[in-house]
Amino acid sequence: MADAQFQDLLDQLTLEEKISLLAGADGWQTQEIPRLGIGSLKTTDGPAGARGALSVDGPPAAFLPAPVSQAATWSKDHLYALGQLLCREVKTKAAQVLLAPTICCARNPLGGRNFESYSEDPVLSGQLAIQYVRGVQETGEVAATVKHFVANEQEYQRFTINAEISERALREIYLRPFETVIKSQNPPKCVMSAYNLVNGAHMDANNILQDILRNEWRFEGLVMSDWGGTNSTVESLIAGCDLEMPGPPEKRGSLLLEAAQNKPQGLLEAIDASVLRVLKLLAELKLLNLSPEDAVKTRKGVETSSNNKDDQKLLREIAADGIVLLKNSNNALPLDPYSLSGKKIALIGPNALNGTPGGGGSATMVPLYQTQPLAAFESALAEMNISATIKHSPGAFIHKWLPLVDSKFVADDNKSMIRLDFFASDDFSGPLVETQYRDSSYMDLFDSAPSAWYEDKKPHSVKISSRLTPETTGLHSFGISSVGNARLFVNDQLLIDNFDWKKVGEAFYSFGSVEVQASYEMTAGQTYDIRLEASSKVIPKDAASDDPVHVFGVQPSVRLGFIEQLPSDPIGDAVKLSNESDVTIVIIGLNDEWESEGYDRQTMKLPGGQDALIESLLRESHNPEGIVVVNQSGSPVEMGWANKIGTIVQAWYGGQEAGNALADVLLGRVNPSGKLPISWPMQYEDLGFEAKSWPGVDGVVKYTEEMSVGYRRYQNAQIQPRWWFGHGLSYTSFKYEEAGLSKEDDGWVVSVTVKNTGSLAGRDVVQCYISSESTKELKAFEKTSLLVPGASETVRMTISERDMAHWNIESKKWVLQAGTYGLYIGSNAGDEDAIKQQLEVVQEMEWLP
């Protein structure tokens, strides 16, 4: 549509209709206006796949490797292909806006959402985001949303924390990935503002939106708030936050209409500007000029699932290419599959039988299917007609809460696990409003309660029922945490009373109670009736948000956990199995309970006795040199035993193909080419964070490290990390030859020939760093194609003059000082064998922002 046509449509809208377009209608969609043919825009999380309109129990979808795993590929081609896949996935969920990618820089390894971001480095994050967004948007049918703008690096007090950041650090680190992708040839159509404050102002009402995002970077797309992250009625709109999400509106709607009728200076103009941006996005996504009937239908799109072999192959390849071989000093990997014939293999560890495909929060998915480590290993050997005996022992248990219930639970329809009966009262009385059946005992009702509950906003209650048949006899444990009041009955006996709880825990984005547990003596094969009663309540004031009416804390959601009695000596059992086996693989790490939206980790140490498990195996195993340790996590963990172990693999969270991808790498079907997108500390204390700089004091977190984020910190402090940013080994070897540097119009071209000098085909990542002040900073990178032994490939990377500039606080410009700079071509940020050249800048240059 031409600008005149948009203006004509704007003129036809009443003030009430304009305002209705500036807030969500429900949890995921905007308001349609049938009389003018304006449809509803549908959004969907997110970072690990297109989930659709339900946080849990929605239609299955492709479960992608976690973003940090995607970044560990260092492959622009892979990120572009993922974007294309996500475009297709979004359409299966009848949506048009993907709430991804997350491109905040990982500032501290304890950040709860680090797994959901790409990297600690703004260049790597920005360049990968360009390709991801290009893939998502290239058909014109789907919009990408970069988030969370800006400085959303922690979950602690995430709704209220004020991040105090110097102008230079903000420009060079935290704004940089956003600037990179927004100034690219294919900028994202949407930006999501962060919950937090930056230098005293909430991001939805921060001058950064107008001054930098729109005026400097010329961003013309739509800015939406994070969910429940609109903090004012007038100020956020004038600052340039176009859309309050979710709905029904809390800060806009009738409040904005009342404010607009008083006609404060600039408000009506801001309303029109935001409405125009909403209309233009609707037009791009073909949601304007509809018939009234079709406009209504946009709120009722049918969600489906798509599962094809090409997507499966791509996700398996990306999950495998993101796996990082951290250490292989004994050459225990790759395992020779044919030497395993007739052998006994021990898969030990809490993540060995059922691994972790992803982190928690908005990255939670209902996968199309899930491959697990042990089963995938068995399947891979079977495909090669290799007969081996594989046994499992957990060795340790890492549940933060009791595990969610599984197929031992059956609802009264004999198909689902759980039945939910909803009532329009807080005491389970009155007529039944609705009945639902579910297959997850994580019953988050934020977006799945009956529609009447959202409309009347009165207290409600829900009865939840199931039947349980345990497999073993013993003292089994139940646990519940709830947003509202909750009670658990087993065979009509009150087992847990969580009514009127006072202490806030970390479940439900830190709006739920701490988990309350109780045990019950049960007999194998006997069926027990399970009943939960839950109702609304006001969240205590010490909740994470200090906001008792936040959208995540309204509905009486419940998490039900259950576990059968555990073995008395899991470490002893694991050591015994290892000593009975020819090969021992230990799969340890974290899971979506430890890394999630809503809270940060409290320590870098592995939970649940996993360190003791590995130390015992090292001490008591008959073949400690042959032990292979695989870690699954989205951020670093301490490994005090690392110097004693010969082989360590970082597998991240690999999505639905996590098990297959790990088997491919361990068995040598895939030569690992992943590189760390984050630095790996020896121990947390090496980072030097004080309380004021993490997680903050009195509502303020000070970014005292300035630009010394990640590998820059190690270089400046001259501290050795356990593994440098960019580190990653291969089953083959590479040699860099014929490095060249040539000046072009506004930058330089760096070239280097990479030769595979080993015996296996593999891929390498060439990294180019420039010395700047006291650190070397990543400026360019490229991944080679698959090189067979003896083959070579010349890699070319471009570095612009502007890429090398630093922010000058006095002049408010980007400045590149004249002088000689060191250029390093190597395999990680601390590579002592990197090829070094010199780059000359003849005269000082500067650029306006």
- Of 657, 658, 679, the C-alpha closest to 778 is 679
Q: Are strands 647-650 and 628-632 parallel, antiparallel or unpaired?
A: parallel
8 Å CB contact between 635 and 106: yes
Ordered DSSP codes for 215-237? IIT---SEEEE-TT----SSHHH
Q: How far is CA 522 from CA 474, 493, 528, 726, in A?
A: 6, 13, 9, 51
Helices (H), 555-682: 570-579, 610-620, 658-666
Burial of 210 (0-12, 13-18, 19+ CB in 10 A): middle
The whole-angstrom separation of Cα 178 and Cα 125 is 9
Cα(402)–Cα(567) distance, rounded to whole angstroms? 15
Distance CA 532, CA 530 (A): 7
CB 433 within 8 A of CB 450: yes
Q: Rounded distance, CA 619 to CA 617, Å? A: 5
| Cα gap 219→803, rounded to integer Å | 20
Instruction: Enumerate residues 6+ apart whose C-beta is below 8 A from 505.
Output: 481, 512, 513, 514, 515
For residues 70 and 118, the answer to whether their CB atoms sit within 8 Å is yes
Say which DSSP state 830 is in.
Answer: T
Single-letter amino acid code for the residue at 252: R
Q: What is the CA radius of gyration of the chain?
A: 27
Q: Which of 226, 592, 611, 664 is catalytic?
A: 226
Q: Is residue 226 annotated as part of the catalytic site, yes or no?
A: yes
Q: Which residues pair with 325 in a beta bridge?
A: 649, 729
Residues 6 or more apart whose Cβ sits within 8 Å of residue 663? 373, 376, 377, 379, 380, 669
Say which amino acid occupies 469: T
- What does the block give as tokens for 270? 């801001």
The span from the CA of 34 to the CA of 19, in Å, is: 15
- Whether 42 and 32 have beta carbons less than 8 Å apart is answered as no
Helix or strand (DSSP H, E) at 255? helix 254-261
∠ CA(133), CA(135), CA(141), 5° rounding? 90
Beta bridge partners of 740: 751
Residues contacting 185, CB < 8 A, separation 6+: none
User: Which are the contacts of 86, defined by CB distance < 8 A and separation ≥ 6?
Assistant: 49, 50, 64, 98, 100, 135, 136, 142
Report, as residue numbers or ranges, the catalytic residues.
226
